[in-house]
Amino acid sequence: AKYPDDSFSSMQRRAQEKRYPFPYLFDETQEVARQYGATRTPEIFLFDERRVLRYHGAPDDNYEDPAAVRQPYLRNA
């Protein structure tokens, strides 16, 4: 399924607003997401400098409300 918030222009705006200091993948057909086994949005794949996958999952336990986060999964990875 395609979602309006997943459009390339929406992604670009969000990345600029959040000042993401990392590459942001646009997967129009979601083929890469399927190959990696992505099951949610957002879903994080953190690789080290040798391209070894070090973390895969949600960024935290409450994407909707940053003030309500109790488990910062990515930060703890």
Residues 28 and 58 in one domain: no
| 24 and 52 both lie in a single domain | no
- Find, among 30, 34, 32, 44, the residue nearest to 76 by Cα: 44
Do residues 28 and 48 share a domain? no
Structural domain that includes position 11: 1-34
Q: How many domains does the chain have?
A: 2
CA distance 66 to 8: 24
* pLDDT tens by residue, 28-74: 888 988 999 998 888 899 999 999 999 999 999 998 898 999 999 99
Claim to verify: residue 58 and residue 72 sit in the same structural domain:
yes
Q: Are residues 61 and 30 in the same domain?
A: no
24 and 4 in a common domain: yes
- 44 lies in the same domain as 73: yes
Given a contact cutoff of 8 angstroms between Cβ atoms, the answer to whether 74 and 46 are in contact is yes
More confident site: 11 or 61: 61
Q: Which residue has the higher pLDDT, 24 or 37?
A: 37
Given a cut of 70, is residue 4 above it in pLDDT? no
